Amino acid sequence: MTGKSLSERIGDLGHRLAVEAHAAWFAARDPRVPWPARAIAVAIAAYALSPIDLIPDFIPVLGWLDDLILVPLGLILVRRLIPAPLWAELHAAAEAASERPSSRTGMALILLLWAGLLYLVYWSIRTSPWH
């Protein structure tokens, strides 16, 4: 049997996305990167490297859609905003890195977003005329 199995291809895609997110993290910290690209890179890297997702993965279908749509689209946008030679340098540094960073800031922002959403639900129920 030639070629890779589906699970191997998915693993390769996951590895590529992790390297790209790490490169975006480097881009967010590099002063040579234009500021709009840095701003988007901060958001994408914080979200991609956060241990907590906006939509938890245990929710069927929706849990993976954010990882399969938001992160790749954000990474594509970051790559287009950064000059190719600079992106190649950042990508090579990310590929050479032995361990990936974890974004505690991204985790905190997502937890705050969920807390705010839960508060809005609580508030809307408490102030509801049917309560």
Q: Which of 40, 44, 50, 3 is nearest to 21 (CA)?
A: 44
pLDDT at 30: 92
- Is pTM, for the whole model, over 0.75? no
pLDDT at 125: 86
Please tell me the total number of residues recorded for the chain in this structure. Answer: 131
In tens, the pLDDT along 20-67 reads 888 998 999 999 999 999 999 988 888 877 777 777 777 777 777 777
pLDDT digits (tens, 9 = 90+) for 100-120: 666 677 677 778 888 898 899
Q: Locate 90 and state its tokens.
A: 């950042």
Q: Are 48 and 68 in contact (CB under 8 A)?
A: no
